[in-house]
Structure 1
């Protein structure tokens, strides 16, 4: 493995103002920084390397623009090519799996949740990159380690997460009797009922929405003491605690706006911005878009963490975005160098600012970025890494837990009960069978 222990002083030799200038994200200044970085880097990209990188489609345009500036600067500074393709959340995993199985087509994937754990044997060891970034950027949050490490080594770099937090309309919540956003399960259920009664409904996805459905439904399960697997990775979904979570979610669903059982990851954004939806679980992208397209909604909305569980503890599943390098790539050093470069503070901080709260980093130093407090409505998204759990919950992340979330085992259990397809016992039994097929327990 290449040692990514860059000499900070060597980067400064090109001029004392270079790093400060790069933070403005001017294309020319960023290119100057990239060239200095390339000269100082011990991990030299392979000459003429051509990389195919797949990433999720943007929800915040400015984030994508900032990302592509980083890509462009790295290409020019190192005389390499990085072809970036974009797919919807739900299409990332199938395309990555095809590449993993065939050993061709993609070099890198910036995907969702536990994507590297679906095929850990196909991932390049990036422990050197992870250690370099940790030493430079204040260390990794524990949740970042969970999203990146497998059997003692790093198989992916958890770039950031999109916080799955409450987006709500302030006036509607107050009219429903909640001037302060409820922090407990009972208060949250009361708010959702009040919103429905007043014709200002809530709504969260129960369809196969990789981001929006998985995040809040795993929270609902965990908050009642339920779990898909225990600490030994034994399937324990069929339990009294799970039954309570099913009843709780059914009570919410009965007060939702119609149609949430078929929602994808864009559905709640559209409904909220159209003034049809007054509470949902989402990233900050609704607010970002509203500030640009509907300032009245932006001024009347706020964000909050999901309520604590029955034991008073906070457990949330956020939409982690790990980047992986396939071990069949012909250009591993180029892929590693690009991964390290894109998360350097000089361009990562402006990138985080451009994302306007949509990217919540797992590296601790990035919590200090002033954008998290410049607008108090951004602040809840700063703390996403601290509250995040992995899709394994109590268990260990691995191929099985990754497959379970990719197959919507938990989502289907809730959807089947809420829509009347199955009763509580049958829904739990169906989920138990599906999980046991995956975990082979």
Structure 2
């Protein structure tokens, strides 16, 4: 950025009496680099760093960042490099901690209860509704980031904003589509290997042929935050049910259509699916697919990415990847009587109020979400993370490979958790208790779709009805 832009900001800050934080936020909105923003802070008289110290943050500071383990390891390594780069510039030590997805909420709960923990936390989907009282408000920053990328998609705003306010900055999310082996589906009777079954009924039928071939469908239904609810919510909506009506209180879960659809799924489970899926988390189905155990599964693009790496001799998996990426194609989820749907909610980054380093935490998030830093991170994800705004959808990483095309279009059929009500605190509680996913697991284990749905509806009533 030019010196003139910094000078203009200094004059504006002096005239408007901006605080130091106000200058940083305004600099972010203007697209200034961290170095330029810090220069504006100093010239505005809002900081007086000693010679040799970082201009905006005292040296010898440390911040910690908690996030879920990346399914694209190269992107995780790249994020570490970015954090180190930022810390080196400002004299801050940055510690990153990556843990299994199902364990993130337990870590957040412990930090909130104990009043100490990670300074920056990667929130998933509707979690801000649960923890916003412990998250630093970031309205100005989140709005500035959104504006810089063409505004946020509706699915982003509905899942991350809390009653219209921002307590974390959205960064997009992994998406959901069927990854499948074209050769196996063709052998099982699919006429065109690139035209996936259009309905769940059609998929169950061809799945039975696949299982007879020893290559069943695979569906994770363990208590995990990605693939299990990615299937369960979508199938529920496709079969005419939802957690609640638009009024936010009336439960619409126990419907005749959903009972019928659930019974079809229960009946199809032993005929078309890998029986071990009840215990699978978000990584087990990746392993099953890439080890040639199953023919298809709902997943982000990480399966395809790992297969490509293996073909180049660069696999980082702790098992042998035997699937040729040329045999992998992707498809949007099938339709039920009510249509096709996908559950989609954005991830976001929050600075925590218990942190003694809130300012540094916010400055890192500000720096990282600038285009010069954020776009390379998206590119390092190789299409696994879809963006939070339309200003990023034309990137080559999202348009260059036709095999990944369905991931870029899922927003067209996306719904939020809690639909038809808002993605609010109650929807986040339902999600955290895995009520929807557990209903499917219970139905399979008992064989009684009606009883499982009635039980799930009763649990929903206890949360939404109060």
* Whole-angstrom CA distance in 2 between matches of 1:336 and 1:183: 45
TM-score (ref. length: structure 2): 0.84
**Residue-by-residue CA offset, 1:355-403 (whole Å, 9 max, x unaligned):** 1111111122110101222211122222344443221121112221111
Deviation, 1:8, is 8.3
Matches within 5 A, 1:302-381: 302-312=329-339, 314-318=340-344, 320-381=346-407
- Residues 107-134 of structure 1: CA distance to partner in whole angstroms, max 9, x if unpaired? 2210322221112222221111111112
- Aligned residue for 1:383, secondary structure, equals helix
Could you tell me how far apart the structure 2 residues matched to 1:347 and 1:251 are? 49
CA contact (8 A) 2:117 2:355 kept: no
Q: Aligned equivalents of 1:201 and 1:118: distance in 2?
A: 38
Alignment of 1:220-231 (within 5 A): 220-231=235-246
Between the aligned partners of 2:404 and 2:31, the Cα distance in structure 1 is 36
* Alpha-carbon distance in structure 1 between the residues aligned to 2:228 and 2:31: 47
Distance in 1, matches of 2:255 and 2:398, equals 39
92-101 or 385-394: which moved more? 385-394
With over 3 angstroms needed to count, the CA separation of the structure-2 counterparts of 1:62 and 1:439, relative to structure 1, is: same
Superposed, 1:273-288 pairs within 5 Å as 273-288=290-305
d(CA) in 2 for partners of 1:186 and 1:8?
49
CA distance in 2, matches of 1:330, 1:379: 43
Instruction: Check whether the contact 2:235–2:341 (CA below 8 A) recurs between aligned residues.
Output: no
Unpaired runs of at least 5, structure 1: 12-32
Matches within 5 A, 1:222-241: 222-234=237-249, 235-241=251-257
Query: What residue number does 1:219 align with?
Result: 234
- How many residue pairs are counted as aligned between the two chains? 418
Q: Distance in 1 between matches of 2:58 and 2:429?
A: 37
Structure-2 residue corresponding to 1:153: 165
What SS is found at the alignment partner of 1:159? strand
TM-score, scaled to structure 1: 0.88
Long gaps (5+) in structure 2: 1-20, 47-54, 313-322
Within 5 Å, give how 1:4-23 maps onto structure 2.
Answer: 4-6=25-27, 11=32
Matching of residues 8-407 of structure 1 within 5 Å: 11=32, 35-36=35-36, 38-39=38-39, 45-48=56-59, 49-178=61-190, 179=192, 180-234=195-249, 235-254=251-270, 255-294=272-311, 296-312=323-339, 314-318=340-344, 320-407=346-433
Kept in 2, the 8 Å contact 1:54–1:85? The answer is yes
Secondary structure of the 1:368 match is: coil
- For residues 299-358 of structure 1, give each alpha carbon's deviation from its aligned partner in whole angstroms, at most 9, with x where no partner exists: 10011111234234x421146322222222223332222222212221222211111111
Q: Distance in 2 between matches of 1:258 and 1:161?
A: 29
When the two chains are superposed, the root-mean-square deviation of aligned CA atoms in Å is: 2.3
Cα deviation for residue 276 of structure 1 reads: 0.9
Instruction: Tell me the distance in 2 between the aligned counterparts of 1:340 and 1:282.
Output: 30
Asked whether the 8 Å contact 1:56–1:111 carries over to 2, the reply is no
Q: Which residue of 1 aligns with 2:318?
A: none
What do residues 148-206 of structure 1 show as CA deviations (whole Å, max 9, x unaligned)? 21112112222111112101001111222221112333332333223223322111012
Between the aligned partners of 1:304 and 1:10, the Cα distance in structure 2 is 37
